Amino acid sequence: MEHSVRIRVRYAETDQMRFAHHSVYVVWFEMARIELMRGLGLNYAQMEKDGYLLPVLEVGIRYRKPAFFDDELQISAKFAQLAGARLRIQYTVTKNGTLIAEGFSVHAFMNAQGRPIRPPVFFVNAIKRQSEV
């Protein structure tokens, strides 16, 4: 499953060179990741209330072309791998259909005490249901 969000680069997200600052891509990835989960019927806020946490273990980004103030971008996220307690999500950022950045994040399922746990059954089932469509 893949889910996309559209954003417009805000002036505050640009640097002195007028490029979208490299750090905002991680924020955009998070926006797409949350919407990806919502598209599966998973509410991340509720998951946290229920004691399931998904901290980021690793993130990587390859910047291909700059984005500028007021550019309209599409950020797409898709589940790439679910293995044990780890979840990998792939991202692409496009402008007018042109790839400008791509990346990934790796997360671990943890309980409220900070211990690694297997993904909850409802999470695995939501992914399975989507892959059957």
Q: How many residues are there in the chain?
A: 133
What is the structure's pLDDT at 116? 95
Residues with pLDDT less than 70, the chain: 132-133
Question: Which residue in the block uniquely carries the two structure tokens 């790796």?
Answer: 106
First-to-last alpha carbon distance for the chain, in angstroms, is 9
108 vs 31: CA distance, rounded Å: 18
pTM of the model: 0.92
Q: How many helices (H) and strands (E) does the chain have?
A: 3, 5
Give me the pLDDT at residue 127, please: 86
